[in-house]
Chain A
Amino acid sequence: MASSSSSGLTFKLHPLVIVNISDHYTRVKSQLSLPPSLTSTSSAATSNNNNNNSNGGENNQNPPPRVYGCVIGVQRGRTVEIFNSFELIYDPSTRSLDRSFLEKKQELYKKVFPHFYVLGWYSTGSDAQESDMHFHKALMDINESPLYVLLNPAINPAQKDLPVTIYESELHVIDGVPQLIFVRSSYTIETVEAERISVDHVAHLKPSGGSAATQLAAQLTGIHSAIKMLNSRIRVLHQYLVGMQKGDIPCESSLLRQVSSLLRRLPAVESEKFQDDFLMEYNDTLLITYLAMFTNCSSTMNELVDKFNTTYDRHSRRGGRTAFI
């Protein structure tokens, strides 16, 4: 069902959407399973609890609840940018979508974010299912080709890739019958500067100290980890290429083409104007440093002069002059 998409649209996903979906899912999950500290009167809940404890906290007997919601954003030309999301009421057993709720929510969000409109919907689970197509079709009257964002909430520590997939729907002719099927699309993560800082802040729980030393340390750690990541990626590419050269790995020309185009793009910017602008910025920063040093020096000098005046006071003769002679 999931082949790669051919619509040619590029998708950009903001981290806020991911955190939103995860929060929605966690809330639903924690409402359904009571914390072990609370004793519950209903026997079903206690048996649920006991089972939970014996299975090491995993909901084995009940499949994890699925949550549904809507994603909003903007589409500019061939780029689709997903900014935000909100939850929806959907009953999978009766397959009914609460329309009035959706409209109300849309209105509310329109007031605060007037540029965004409904781009599609989201849900949690491990793979796209047939039943999802009904929801998808239901949304088609709001947006002719909605997106389906799927988040896999299973925490797998061995996983390296983000468990989020974006599906589009395409009309394929299968056995002579035109059917809508889900096709996977690739996406990139896009952040606004403030978003990146707050995500970084929460992810690494950086110390929010005021001193310059902690700030410097935090800044350098950030840059260091990013460079480390770049280094490891380049190493992987290098090993792959060496392997290809030796003949261990079959040659793949498309990949080779991409690598060579990447290399040809370095050096990225070498024009005269760039050098000039860069040096100007550099000089500005040096100037500010110089001014700050100056202010620091004059303040220290001022303190020194004051202390000097207080100690060697001309008007009082109390032991000031003796040390000087």
Chain B
Amino acid sequence: MIHSLFLVNSSGDIFLEKHWKSVVSRSVCDYFFEAQERASEPENVPPVIPTPHHYLISVLRHRIYFVAVIQSEVPPLFVIEFLHRVVDTFQDYFGLCTEAAIKDNVVVVYELLEEMLDNGFPLATESNILKELIKPPTILRTVVNTITGSTNVGEQLPTGQLSVVPWRRTGVKYTNNEAYFDVVEEIDAIIDKSGSTITAEIQGVIDACVKLTGMPDLTLSFMNPRLLDDVSFHPCVRFKRWEAERILSFIPPDGNFRLLSYHVSSQNLVAIPVYVKHNITFREGSSQGRFELTLGPKQTMGKAVESVLVSSQLPRGVLNANLNASQGTYTFDPVTKLLTWDVGKINPQKLPSLKGSMSLQAGASKPDENPTIIIQFKIQQMAISGLKVNRLDMYGEKYKPFKGIKYMTKAGKFQVRT
């Protein structure tokens, strides 16, 4: 399975290596660097690179390439999924997964990698189990360890490792018992020139933060479960129950986890909460272009559209943009040709707009294509699909937990073609 792992930063240095079988020379990464050079963008590096004796499977997260060395046939997704799990774990442990964080915590990183794989086969990837084996570094613990000489490494086999609920440790205790659920929906859409929707779908997740004492057994039911077209569950959810009654029944992991992700397909009509009026023109022969953009709310059920951010990759011929924003600030990077406009909140009475001119390279011909506009936004207290949680019940424990549910809608891959 996974032979070795190399961590490569954006400037092409290997700053960490770990081998689970015999040592593979880091020169194997040369093939990776070659591919990296060939690719114009960092994302264009192919995830699977065959070399004469090994296969390199890499993922790119937080501008770090995680390059796994494989020696024989293995499902590539197996490796990719695992690498992402490693990144998630690092993020979970160190707050953010940057080169500096990894270098600072190199010992913990090594201990984690040692526990996560045995001989290249995943051993413990469940965050609850790992945290019992190796405690995440905190300032307090560092101080305590220095004084008492105790360590971050657990001595007992984590209880989860053997139980039927490996995701939950036993003996959890809280003074305030609380369970929060966030229903977050993202709209993926492509809007064409004329403003009609080409494709739109909703991807939703329910993220939970559960801090409950003991072994609570929760059930969560929806007002309209039929909406959910395709779902994937955290392993804790009892699939049979969902099949039969459309009820989520589960013993939750301790802490933060993703309970469910779902898909509301494009077959259902998706309400698009914003519209864009745009007029971007380049005239043949002139070195000037017009740029006009107006945003407005639409089908938001009275909720405000917040944190709006517009970005667009202008054509290469554009030298500079001289624009005027009615609200918020805009920036144009003349090197990458990336225009970003931080709008903020959309006020329905006074629609935000960005107008002005672009100067083009003299003598260059008119660009073929108008740029695509990418919009990000947030709408609080609303799930755009209309999904509603009906009730949350707890069994198995005596106390009364504090429960909370929050809804939010965000833009996913929301693109407007102009």
B partners with A: no
Binding site for A on B (CB under 8 A): none
Binding site for B on A (CB under 8 A): none
